[in-house]
Amino acid sequence: MDDDEGRSRVLEAAEELFYRYGTHEVRMTQVRDHAGVSLARLYKLYPSKHDLVAAYLQAHGRRVRALLAESVEQAAPAPADSRTRLLAAFDHLQETVDEPGFRGCAFVNAWAEIGGLGHERHPLVAEAVREHKTLLRDYLTGLAGDYADARGVGEQIHILAEGVMVTSSLLGADAARPARDSASAVLAAADSTRSAYEK
């Protein structure tokens, strides 16, 4: 087994275990056993648990963002307007929280586990969380390109999207459904502002 295969197996095992049980609860020996690699190889690839958690979050983030973009493109391929594409993003989020095994946002969960504002002790993990949240916000802002204040609209939509993930993990998938209506209202207000300006 070369390092690339070993890394792939370790990350796959880490994603399954960390997301299901939490990063604190899972020991490196459990990841080793689940991935079918030696402990020596595991620590060669990831010298500390924090290195592994950060790598897991980065890989998970790439997958989450790719699935979101793919879903939006399938439901509302360009040149569909921003409103249609942004609402398609919420449809994808609803599908995500409806999935069996949904346990909330992996990044919020990891942030909570490192103590939130105590993140200076875990800079690799904190940076991986921030990176995903920033890239997600930037993606949604890009979808809002039809609006004069694309950044402002994108940030509002991003906050609603974050609310979907957190609220659904606490109250169930139905709690996410009003978020799409809220997003629609935000976009309607942005449309009204744009129409008034154009007059």
Domain locations in the chain as residue ranges: 1-47, 48-198
| Helix/strand/coil percentages in the chain, nearest 5 | 80, 0, 20
pTM comes to 0.91
Confidence band (pLDDT; 50, 70, 90) for 167? very high
Q: How far apart are CA 61 and CA 130, in angstroms?
A: 11
Q: How far apart are CA 108 and CA 74, in angstroms?
A: 28
pLDDT digits (tens, 9 = 90+) for 55-74: 999 999 999 999 999 999 99
Query: Is 88:67 a contact under the CB 8 Å cutoff?
Result: no
Q: How much is the pLDDT for 115? A: 75
CATH number of 48-198: 1.10.357.10
CATH number of 1-47: 1.10.10.60
Residue 197: pLDDT over 50:
no
Query: Is 190:147 a contact under the CB 8 Å cutoff?
Result: yes
